[in-house]
Amino acid sequence: MTFLKSELSIPAILGACLMLPVLAFTSTYSVAEDVPPGERVLSVGGSVTEIIYALGEEDRLVARDTTSSYPPEVMDLPDVGYMRALSPEGVLSVNPDLVIAEAGSGPPETIEVLEEAAIDFVAVPDGFDRDTVRAKIEAVAAALEVVEKGEALAAEVDAALADAMSAEVPGTPKRVMFVLTAQGGRIMASGTNTTADGIIRLAGAVNAVEGFEGYKPVSEEAIIAAAPDVILMMDRGGDHAMTDDDLFALPSVAATPAGETRSVVRIDGLLLLGFGPRTPEAVRTLHGALYGGA
């Protein structure tokens, strides 16, 4: 297969997803000496915010980032901006004593300012497999100093995920192509080492696109050669939305098995790609859409 060599900016397109390499940050002590550490928490990253709510520690939140949109009540909190483009002024304006962030949050210059202001910054590990979900939960719980609650939640979610992954795959596993965007008729798809690739595998399917890591534009020849049975996309509106008719009108997509059967699955992006406490639900939802059943 051949792939187009150019790459686009993923963070500006994906928003709620967790795809970039980990940045290494160090933690310091709280700026507010009269407040116990972790009593004014800024959550950066949708999965981190979901974990905080699942732990029952949401009362400690004072703000969130733009990617944190679940559960719905989190939208009432102040928004300090996009996780990879945080400004020092925006963060400092909510006076946090602890920032818990998904790996890749930043930029580094902002993190340096927070460290100079003696604000704790904890980067949560990322990844694309079952172990990642447990590690994230345990890391957030440790940052909040509720380790026992974290162990209990991690065990509960891990058991649910194991059950979801055990669902039977009838016949040959489906070949799935995750399409991040198709603006201007150019498909940007997921290769390996991404959350999209990870969730496809957890749901008992095969990533139809091989030969590169990350998210890249792919050529028409590569799409046809990938021969996906199903197109997987985030369910979203706005400028990045694309109707089924527009998708299957693309000659390269129309020439695939997915195009012939008009097979497309759309799932909420944060649910699908968050790798947080709702990952068992994401696996069940995708598996059911691919193979039928709940």
> Averaged over 248-254, what is the pLDDT?
96
Q: Could you say which of 147, 165, 183 is where a domain stops?
A: 165
Q: Which residue range(s) make up the domain with 224?
A: 169-291
CB burial string 262-272: b at 16+ within 10 A, e below = ebbbbbbbbbb
Q: In this structure, what CATH number is given to the domain that contains residue 71?
A: 3.40.50.1980
Residue 9 belongs to a domain: no
> Position of tokens 């795959």?
169
Tell me how many domains the chain contains. 2
Structure tokens at 211: 């030969």
Residues 84 and 20 sit within 8 Å (Cβ to Cβ): yes
Amino acid letter, residue 222 = A
What digits encode the pLDDT tens for the residues 124-145?
Answer: 999 999 999 999 999 999 999 9
**What is the largest distance, in Å, between two alpha-carbon atoms of the chain?**
65
Claim to verify: residue 242 and residue 265 sit in the same structural domain: yes
> Averaged over 237-255, what is the pLDDT?
86
Structure tokens at 250: 């693309």
Nearest C-alpha neighbor of 23 from the set 97, 91, 115: 115
Claim to verify: residue 119 and residue 193 sit in the same structural domain: no
| pLDDT confidence bin for 14, thresholds 50/70/90 | very low
Question: pTM to 2 decimals?
Answer: 0.86
Claim to verify: residue 130 and residue 57 sit in the same structural domain: yes
Query: Mean pLDDT lowest for which of 18-22, 59-63, 197-201, 208-212?
Result: 18-22
Claim to verify: residue 50 and residue 181 sit in the same structural domain: no
Residue 232 belongs to a domain: yes
Residues 154 and 138 sit within 8 Å (Cβ to Cβ): yes
Using CA atoms, how far residue 123 sits from 61, 288, 293, in Å, is 17, 33, 37
Claim to verify: residue 114 and residue 204 sit in the same structural domain: no
Q: Could you say which of 103, 131, 165 is where a domain stops?
A: 165
Distance CA 195, CA 130 (A): 11
DSSP string computed for the chain: --B------HHHHHSS---SPPPP------S-TTS-TTSSEEEESHHHHHHHHHTT-GGGEEEE-TT---SGGGGGS-B---TTS--HHHHHTT--SEEEEETT-S-HHHHHHHHHTT-EEEEEP--SSHHHHHHHHHHHHHHTT-HHHHHHHHHHHHHHHHHHHTS---SSPPEEEEEEE-GGG--EEE-BSSHHHHHHHHTT-EES--S-BSEEEB-HHHHHHH--SEEEEE---GGG---HHHHHHSHHHHTSHHHHHT-EEEE-HHHHH--STTHHHHHHHHHHHHHS--
| pLDDT confidence bin for 236, thresholds 50/70/90 | confident
Residue 56 belongs to a domain: yes
Q: 99 pLDDT exceeds 70?
A: yes
pLDDT of residue 32: 36
Residue 2 belongs to a domain: no
> Position of tokens 């603006």?
183
Claim to verify: residue 18 and residue 160 sit in the same structural domain: yes
Residue 182 belongs to a domain: yes
Claim to verify: residue 133 and residue 192 sit in the same structural domain: no
Nearest C-alpha neighbor of 118 from the set 185, 28, 8: 28
Distance CA 4, CA 118 (A): 45
Share of the chain above pLDDT 90, in %: 83
Amino acid letter, residue 4 = L
Claim to verify: residue 151 and residue 265 sit in the same structural domain: no
Claim to verify: residue 47 and residue 155 sit in the same structural domain: yes
Residue 4 belongs to a domain: no
Claim to verify: residue 157 and residue 24 sit in the same structural domain: yes
Residue 5 belongs to a domain: no
Claim to verify: residue 134 and residue 241 sit in the same structural domain: no
Q: Could you say which of 132, 165, 198 is where a domain stops?
A: 165
Residues 234 and 242 sit within 8 Å (Cβ to Cβ): no
Residue 1 belongs to a domain: no
Query: Mean pLDDT lowest for which of 7-21, 25-39, 110-124?
Result: 7-21
Claim to verify: residue 21 and residue 132 sit in the same structural domain: yes
Output the average pLDDT for the chain: 88
